Amino acid sequence: MLAVFLVCLAVGCGKADDSVSEQGVPDAQEHALITKDELKIGVLYIADPTVGSGYSYAHDLGISDMMRNLELRPEQVERAVVPDSDAAGVARAAEKFIADGCQVVIGTSFGYMQTLAALAEKHPQVYFAHSSGFLSNGRNFINYFGRIYQARYLSGIVAGLNTKTGKIGYVAAQGAENAEVTGGIDAFAIGVAAVNPSARVYVRVTHSWFDPAAEQAASEELLALGCDIMSQHCDTDAPVRLAQQRGVYAIGYNSDMSKECPRSTLTSVIWGWGAFYTYYINSLLTGTYDGENYYRGMRDGMVELTDVADFAADGTAEQVEAAKKRIMDGSCNVFDGVLETNAGTTVGTADKTLSDAEITGGIHWYYKNVEVLP
């Protein structure tokens, strides 16, 4: 699987797209793979995208951004909510999209990958894209993701500067077997350690991308442990919401969670999914689509950190801004140099940084200040 992923990433970082006009409408469609008037898109979500501020909601914000940028009509996008653990349900929903005339099918979660890979072979005339994962075929099936670890690192700085107990909680969807989640935890922990070497990051794994009850229970456990900053890689806003109820702080994820919990949200690690969706659909409309995977970061608006709250500790916003500048100019790549793990081993090499392939597919270790609860 890692070998396949490395090959995917080798072709995944394409050139910035400049084929969208100031109005967001494609400059020309004489080479279009799909005409704008005929275009129809089907999107799969693991949860209701109209509820809360989590993962599915953030993806739907991106779809809406794309629709505005490219001036699409509401009826040109179909949506379906299907658990990504239900392969048969995913297949039925995707087949319905195709039967309804959708030429593009988008799966917003890792768990859709295998099913969409098979459907792409069955329907070579349909274009499929799925978020994260490692499978693609270079033709009508690609994957897309971003350097979320950049914003995770910045949020770790916020957490490290604002904890009083030195205990920071982190609700994680998956364990060390999933490099996406583990890499995010490590980037966050590196940021914490950069400003507060004595602080610890306590992780509770739910083993599900979307499980409201488990996310609630994990948050309760971490707060009972004495964590006074909560962070997360999970779908719901349970960590932020419970933090506000208990009078402590939190780091939101996916979208700006300060709108629900203004008293607890120090900042939020957010996705700019609209950057990809606009790029992808525009490439089909202009004939510039090349089957490459998509992997971008803060420079392209794919990931971001919201403004630090006014009630954060003095100097927090300034330290975050300084660190962000280092990321943007390339002098900080987060996973730089020799990194110590919580198992007493080391990863990386002096004066070098881990590759994107290693970060996204090979991080199965935890940084030195991370403790995973049994």
| pLDDT of 10 above 70 | no
Confidence of residue 273 (pLDDT cuts 50, 70, 90): very high
For residue 367, the 8-state DSSP code is B
The predicted structure's pLDDT at residue 8: 41
Region 43-65 average pLDDT: 94
| pLDDT of 4 above 60 | no
Element (H, E) at 122: helix 113-122
Closest residue by Cα to residue 180 from 153, 137, 147: 147
Do 59 and 112 lie in one domain? The reply is yes
- In 272-323, beta strands by DSSP E: 294-296, 303-305
How many domains are there within the chain? 2
Confidence of residue 109 (pLDDT cuts 50, 70, 90): very high
DSSP string, 1-49: -HHHHHHHHHTTB-PPP--B-TTSSBS--TT-SS-TTT--EEEEESS-T
Do 280 and 330 lie in one domain? The reply is no
| pLDDT of 15 above 80 | no
**58 is in which domain, residue-wise?**
9-146+272-300
Integer Cα distance of 295 and 312 in angstroms: 32
CATH number at residue 138: 3.40.50.2300
| pLDDT of 99 above 90 | yes
In a domain, 130, yes or no: yes
Do 171 and 114 lie in one domain? The reply is no
* % of the chain surpassing 90 pLDDT: 87
- CA dihedral sign, ordered 313, 315, 318, 320: negative
In a domain, 219, yes or no: yes
In a domain, 108, yes or no: yes
The predicted structure's pLDDT at residue 30: 56
Do 208 and 182 lie in one domain? The reply is yes
Do 131 and 198 lie in one domain? The reply is no
Integer Cα distance of 359 and 149 in angstroms: 9
Closest residue by Cα to residue 104 from 130, 126, 76, 119: 126
Q: What is the pLDDT of residues 59-90, one digit of tens each?
A: 999 999 999 999 999 999 999 999 999 999 99
Region 284-290 average pLDDT: 97
| pLDDT of 16 above 50 | no
Do 19 and 111 lie in one domain? The reply is yes
| pLDDT of 145 above 90 | yes
Do 246 and 311 lie in one domain? The reply is yes
| pLDDT of 9 above 80 | no
- Provide the phi-psi class of 166: left if phi over 0, else alpha when psi is between -120 and 50, else beta: left
In a domain, 3, yes or no: no
Do 204 and 327 lie in one domain? The reply is yes
Closest residue by Cα to residue 253 from 281, 234, 272, 266: 234
The predicted structure's pLDDT at residue 359: 93
Do 247 and 155 lie in one domain? The reply is yes
In a domain, 4, yes or no: no
| pLDDT of 106 above 80 | yes
For residue 234, the 8-state DSSP code is S
Closest residue by Cα to residue 335 from 70, 87, 160, 153: 153
Do 114 and 174 lie in one domain? The reply is no
In a domain, 164, yes or no: yes
Look over the chain and give the mean of its residue pLDDT values, rounded to a whole number.
Answer: 92
Integer Cα distance of 114 and 67 in angstroms: 27
Confidence of residue 341 (pLDDT cuts 50, 70, 90): very high
